[in-house]
Structure formats: structure tokens, C-alpha cells
Amino acid sequence: MASGTALIYDEEMTAHKLLWNDPICDIEVPERLSFSYEQLRSYHLVERCVHVPAREGSEEEILLVHSLEHLEMAKSTQTMNEEELKRVSENYDAFFFHPSTYHCARLAVGAALQLVDAVMAGKVRNGMALVRPPGHHSQRNAANGFCLFNNVAIAAEYAKLKYGLQRILIVDWDVHHGQGTQYIFEEDPSVLYFSWHRYEHQEFWPSLKESDYDAVGLGKGKGFNINLPWNKVGMGNSDYLAAFFHVLLPMAFEFDPELVIVSSGYDSGIGDPEGQMNATPEVFAHLTHFLMQLANGKLCVILEGGYHLKSLGESVCMTVKTLLGDPVPQITGEMAPCLSAVESIQNVRAAHKPYWKCLAYEDTSFLQNLSTKSHLLKKANSNPSAEDESQITNNNNTVKVERFLELHMKNILFPVPSIKTATTGSEGSEYFLPEHVQLVKEMDETEIKVLVSGFYADLVKEEKTLLSLGSTFVILDKILKKEVCNGIAASPTAALSAAVAVRHGVRFGFQRVLCVFVGDMQMIPNTEDGKMLVINICEKEQSRKTSCKHYISLNWKEDAGGNDFFSAVLGFILPVAYSYQPNLTVVAVGPNRNLGISGISLLVALLRGLAESRVFVVIEDTEISLMQTVAKALVGTSTPPFGIYVPPTQEKVNKIKALRDQFQQEWKMLQCSVKDGI
């Protein structure tokens, strides 16, 4: 299993720069690269990465995507004077040439290919390449939107050719539509392209009809192009997360890529003059964390846009930190997608219904009156007084945004990288422990007794049960003291351990503890009501009503022979969990578990995105491979094998739908359609 994170940066790529006055292009500056790298250095992230050198992409490699004509044109600019460069630049929409542009663009291509090689050869698990010029607007025969060669598209073709890959996922989170990438792969079913982008009903650059949600691909590639247009500015963390839960991730898990490449533009982040969006840097940690669960962790992140230096730098750091396996920072802001975002999400799900099993039972009856709705939205948007107002708030906001970003890293950089997972066990069990898992010593009997008698006496009546709680205490203490990030324990009384863990956390000061119970779990009465949310995944309806205020029962029996649980995790559990914003997550696996090892590991891996990755898992099961796989998921350095893709049955989809209807007023991240109940 490969480990480590590659970082590719070459100062030479800062040579490409604008030599004349051009208000459209003047934001694409060399400092975008140097400042991002400086920021990585100051947070000591550079030294934690594996340095991989860039190289020039060969002509042959560039020709995998571009025409000979385009290559020759680019090559010819090397010896031009300023006037000639300006004239050639004018042939394209938003591009500038410098004598060094050709060399830099070849380095940008080569950097992307070096990253693919490092990941595919198993030298590293994942990595990031900081490159200029960017690539995703560039087309077979044209430079466009600051892009000369399509670095990501070339990387994907190269990976297909050199490593025989049959399924590559490209995630384009840049705020602009990578129309170049779409054109290159629109007939290709081996590359799934996802892009969200500022669209504003085609008002925003590049203002193309084919950037809308109904461009799903052509010919054999039908269904393999996913466009999620944002029709309003100001989209934030919750809108991006909703897009991942309800659009990208279900399709990506079904696609089951062998490699994931990110067209990683940060102009979709807060403060960016192009994007005008509100997502904070830590959202990129979450997006990265989700994508790390695919393709066995093989993830190549390649820089595209991002024009607010501070925002760009912080977001790059968030991405690299997450690639390294650090705890995922807490996401901020109200966890509810806006109406316009939900409408876009609903539209793209409907457009892709014919192509994806995970969307097979999507209700599309709303499509009839859609044109009217979009028309209304557009009208509201172009209301002049409303526009003035947003302009005013924007100006006031600029100061706030600057201040926010200044304080940003101070709040989220953890004192020490704590990719540590604690566990307890007998002598010799070290042999079974994955890297980064540390064995902690059990408490002795008297210590436990002192603790229990004061605070847990009502929960624990028998001496022998009491002793089994030792590991829970020890591990939870380490989590609370931030000595480790998360922990796992085996316990003959998982329900009791969980109850003790919750109380321990609440006593420590946590206001919200998320409990996910799997299997038959005895609900412990009058636990810390009001400060916990229980999601109970069990095979049959819990007959006895619990006293617990926030209690959700999710009846689920995993399909034999495959893993259909992902649909419940993405469609229900994660949205609820992200809406709740816990400070601590407790996962307890009881007897008669109704989920397989891969289902439980996927659940645990994804729950690491919450509560700054503070997760305590307790398992009432002696199966060593379950413990091992879950421990690996907690460490975050390996991905649970997902198994054979099994689409959820209509019955299961209906179950999730019903739960969504029931809970989406309370837990708003569940919203993914406009018609029912918003």
C-alpha cells in the first residue's frame, strides 16, 4: 500500500507573465504560484511531502490532446517580440503569451504527468502539482481563459495509455466551466468529467449553452459528462457539500474510478474576484477527504485558477494537509444549501437519471414547469435594486473577508500533526496494527473504579463490566487531550462503552455528540439527552421507544454479495451528520451487525470528515479483520475496498427518500429536490 504525498513545484513556471495592460488577464500572476508555495512552507507542509521534480512534457505527450497546428503555434511564440506576442494573444479569448510561455506550459504538462507517474507507480499515495499556466479551458486547437495546454486532459490520456486505465474521474472544482476538458472527453466513456461552475443562466463567462446541466455527453460518452451550473453567486460550504453528497459522490462510487484527477481551481473559494463565492478554505479539505475514498486513494490534484492570493494559499494548504492525512478541520457556517443550489442539484440529477443506477428512481415530474421556474429566478436576479444591494454588501464584505482569511490558519492548523489512532489490546497485538496506530496501556482497576464511582455509577453495576470500560476511558482521554485524533476499542459491552464515551465527551464540554450505532444495540436510558444525536442502523425497527430526544432509526440490511450501503451513507447519514456538526463522533458496532466490513469502514472513513476527525469506535465483535480494516479507515492512510457495486433497490431508495422527507426540515443538508417541502 503506497504512502506519502507528492508535491510538485518549479519556480520556473513563474516566468510566464503579462507584459502589457489587459484588465481581463491581469489577475493570472506569477505570485499565485510562489505565494501558495510560500504558504505551504510556512505551515511546514513542504517538508512533510515527497518532492517530485517537474519536467517538460514531450511534444508527443502534448499531441495526445492537442493538434499539431496548436503545438506549432505555441512553439513559434518563443522567439517573438512583444508586439508579435500581443497580436497572437488577440487570436484567443483571454490568453496572453510571454516568450517563456511555451516552456512554462510544457513544464505544467510535465508536472501533471510526473504526478500521475508517482501515484501510478506507487511511489506516493497521492499528490499535488502547482502549475502555471492552468489548463482546463484549453481545447484541441485553441488557447483560452489563461490556458494553453490542457494539463489535466493530457494527464488523463497519458494515464489511459501508459497504465491501461479504463476509468478515470476528473473533478473540476474551479469556479469556471472547463469547457476545454468537456470537449476533449465528451464522447469518451472512460473519463467521467464533473464540473461545477458559476453560470448565472449563461450570463457568466464563457457563457456557453453547453455548460448547462443538460450537456451529459455525446454518443458512447452519454452520461459521462456532469455539469452543475451555479445560477447565483455567493454559493458556500453547504452548497458545495450538498453537490458532493447528492450529485458527484453517488455517481463517482458507481463509476468506481481507478484514478481521480482534480482540476483544482480555488477561484470557487471566498474572496475570489472571479467566482464571487463564499466557500471557506476548509471546504477544500472536506472535498479532498471525500475524493480520497475513491480509486484506492489514488488522487492527483492539479492547480487551475484562484486569484485571491490569501484565499488561494490557505485553500492549497487545506488540500495538501488533507492529502497528508491530517485531521479534517470543522466546517463553518449554517449547514443548509440555498434554494438555487438545490434547484441546480435537482436538475442535474434528473438529467442523468437515464445513465446512472443510483439515480434510477429519481422523480422527474417537476421537469415540465422547469422553464418557468428558471425564468422567475433569472428575473429576480436581474432586478436592478437587488443587484445594487448585493454590490454594497460585497464592498463591506471585502474587509471582513480579508480579516477572516488573515485569522484563518491560526484557527485551524493543529499544534501537531495528529494522524494518530489509539487502540488497546493484549501483548503481541502490535503485529496486527497498521502504521500510525498506537497501542495504549489499559488503566488499572483502581483508577477505573475511582472514575466510575463518581460519574458512571448509574450506568455500571457489575464489577466485570466496569473493568471492560478501561480502554474506553483511556482512549477517550487521549482523544479529548488531542494526544490522538481518534481511537478504536473492542468491548464486550459496546452499548455501555458508547454511553460512557458520550458522557465523558459531554462532561468535557462537548455540546453535540453524534452516535452511530450498528447492529443490535441496547439503548442506554437517560444518557446525555439534548447533547447527542443517535442514528441507529439496525435490521428491524427498534420496538421500544427510547427517551433520546434526537433519535433516528435507519433500518437496513446490506445486500448479500455486494455493498449497497454507500447510498444510505451519502444520501442520508452524511447529510444529517454534516447538518448536526458534532464535536465528537462515537461509532458502536453491536452484535448481529447488519453491515459488512466494507460498509462499516466506508462509514467510519467518511465520518472522519466530522468533529475534526475525533472518532471513537467501539466494536463488540471479535472478528480481527473488522478491527483491522476499521483501524485503517481511522488512520486514513488506506481506503476500504469498496467491493462489487450493488445499486440500491427501489425499496431502499424509497426508504431513504421517506427518511429525507421526514427529516429535511430539521437536517437541511438532506435537501436535494425543490418540490417536496422546501
> Which of ligand Q9C, Zn ion, none sits in contact with 134, Cβ below 5 to 8 A by type?
ligand Q9C
User: For residue 626, how many other CB atoms are within 10 A of its CB?
Assistant: 18
Q: Name the nearest CA neighbour of 613 among 374, 363, 282.
A: 282
Q: Binding Zn ion by CB under 5 A: which of 10, 61, 174, 188?
A: 174
Give the type of residue at 139: Q
Q: Which is nearer to ligand Q9C, 28 or 239 (CB)?
A: 28
* Residue 267 found at the interface with Zn ion (CB under 5 A): yes
Q: Which is nearer to Zn ion, 174 or 612 (CB)?
A: 174
SS3 299: strand
Q: Which is nearer to Zn ion, 36 or 497 (CB)?
A: 36
Q: Do residues 604 and 617 lie in contact, with contact meaning Cβ atoms separated by under 8 Å? A: yes
Q: Stretches 172-180, 279-287, 503-511, 588-596: which one binds Zn ion (CB under 5 A)? A: 172-180
Peptide bond into 133 cis (omega under 30): yes
Q: Do residues 260 and 167 lie in contact, with contact meaning Cβ atoms separated by under 8 Å? A: no
For the CB of residue 205, give the shortest distance to Zn ion in the complex, in Å: 9
Distance from the Cα of residue 33 to its chain's centroid: 23
Window 114-143: contact mask with ligand Q9C (x via CB under 6 A): --------------------x--x------
Q: Name the nearest CA neighbour of 5 among 295, 327, 329, 325.
A: 325
For the CB of residue 305, give the shortest distance to ligand Q9C in the complex, in Å: 2
> Which of ligand Q9C, Zn ion, none sits in contact with 596, Cβ below 5 to 8 A by type?
none
The 10 Å CB-count burial string (b at 16+, else e) for 112-134 is bbbbbbbbbeeebbbbbbbbbbb
Q: Binding ligand Q9C by CB under 6 A: which of 2, 15, 71, 94?
A: 94
* Phi-psi domain of 240 (left: phi exceeds 0; alpha: psi -120 through 50; beta: other): alpha
Q: Which residue is nearest to ligand Q9C (CB)?
A: 305
Cell numbers placing 252: 463517482
* Residue 57 found at the interface with Zn ion (CB under 5 A): no
Q: Stretches 170-178, 224-232, 621-629, 655-663: which one binds Zn ion (CB under 5 A)? A: 170-178
Q: Which residue is nearest to Zn ion (CB)?
A: 305
Window 426-465: contact mask with ligand Q9C (x via CB under 6 A): ----------------------------------------
* Enzyme catalytic residues: 137
Q: Which is nearer to Zn ion, 267 or 326 (CB)?
A: 267
Count of residues in contact with ligand Q9C, rule CB under 6 A: 14
Q: CA–CA separation, 669 vs 589, rounded Å?
A: 25
* Residue 265 found at the interface with Zn ion (CB under 5 A): yes
> Which of ligand Q9C, Zn ion, none sits in contact with 94, Cβ below 5 to 8 A by type?
ligand Q9C
Return all residues near 573 (Cβ < 8 A) that are at least 6 apart. Answer: 516, 535, 537, 554, 603
For the CB of residue 306, give the shortest distance to ligand Q9C in the complex, in Å: 7
Q: Which is nearer to ligand Q9C, 176 or 308 (CB)?
A: 176
Residues numbered 222-281 forming contacts with ligand Q9C, rule: CB under 6 A: 265, 267
Q: Do residues 166 and 256 lie in contact, with contact meaning Cβ atoms separated by under 8 Å? A: no
SS3 191: strand
Quickly tell me which residue has 478515470 as its cell. Answer: 168
Distance from the Cα of residue 178 to its chain's centroid: 19
Quickly tell me which residue has 456538526 as its cell. Answer: 581
Beta strands in 444-510 (DSSP E): 486-490
Residues numbered 297-336 forming contacts with ligand Q9C, rule: CB under 6 A: 304-305
List contacts with ligand Q9C (CB under 6 A): 24, 94, 134, 137, 145-147, 174, 176, 205, 265, 267, 304-305
